[in-house]
């Protein structure tokens, strides 16, 4: 059986490289963009964990809570409790997100459309193939799932308008 795809060339790999100056600025960019959401948390310690985790996810090489905690010379338990056990007051964060999205789209009649889709797949050559709900087949089966986000700046009478 032959290859189903060609391996990327060195030039294609190089085109995907993140410039070092961008990599170095990502933690600060995350903090700047996330600060309004972190400010909605109840205590200083919650805000600390919130920002430490976001920065850790943006930093090279630290992609789990244990590694992020150890990078800050802390035990992982508090980070895991913050993520897994904290009762989140999510409505203020959703309201802030809706406000920011509204400002970016800039149209009172704009809507965002989330379009989930799935494609039946078999084998080991496709990323993200798993036994999961496949809407196209109407059952749980091996498939790839994806979500597409579109913005439309035209009036949409089928969706309720959120008054924030």
pLDDT in the model for residue 60: 61
Looking only at the bridges linking them, the beta strands covering 139-152 and 111-120 are antiparallel
pLDDT in the model for residue 112: 73
Give the range with max mean pLDDT: 13-17, 26-30, 85-89, 160-164.
85-89
pLDDT in tens, 118-140: 889 887 777 778 898 888 899 99
Average pLDDT score over the chain: 79
Q: To which residue do tokens 């059986």 refer?
A: 1
pLDDT in the model for residue 40: 92
Torsion of CA 121, 130, 144, 57, to 10 degrees: -150
pLDDT grade, residue 146 (50/70/90)? Answer: confident
What does the alpha-carbon distance between residue 134 and residue 144 come to, in Å, rounded to a whole number? 8
Q: Where are the domains of the chain?
A: 10-88, 107-152
Full-model pTM: 0.53
Residue 83 has pLDDT above 80, yes or no: yes
The sign of the CA dihedral 44, 27, 64, 92 is: positive
pLDDT in the model for residue 163: 45
Plot region of 94 (φ>0 → left; ψ -120 to 50 → alpha; else → beta): alpha
Task: List the alpha helices (DSSP H) in the chain.
Answer: 10-15, 20-38, 44-58, 65-71, 76-84, 90-105
What does the alpha-carbon distance between residue 97 and residue 94 come to, in Å, rounded to a whole number? 5
pLDDT grade, residue 62 (50/70/90)? Answer: low
């Amino acid at each position: 059986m032959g290859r189903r795809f060609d391996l990327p060339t060195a030039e294609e790999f190089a085109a995907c490289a993140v410039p070092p100056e961008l990599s170095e600025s990502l933690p600060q960019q995350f903090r700047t963009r996330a600060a309004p959401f972190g400010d909605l948390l109840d205590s200083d310690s919650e805000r600390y964990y919130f920002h430490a985790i976001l920065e850790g996810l943006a930093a090279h090489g630290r992609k789990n809570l244990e590694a992020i905690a150890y990078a800050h010379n802390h035990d992982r338990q508090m980070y895991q409790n913050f993520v897994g056990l904290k009762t989140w007051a999510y409505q203020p964060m959703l309201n802030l997100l809706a406000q920011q999205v509204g400002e970016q789209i800039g149209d009172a009649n704009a809507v965002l459309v989330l379009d989930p889709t799935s494609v039946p797949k078999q084998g080991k050559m496709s990323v993200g193939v798993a036994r999961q709900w496949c809407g196209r087949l109407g059952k749980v089966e091996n498939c790839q799932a994806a979500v597409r986000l579109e913005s439309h700046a035209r009036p949409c009478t089928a969706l309720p308008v959120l008054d924030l």
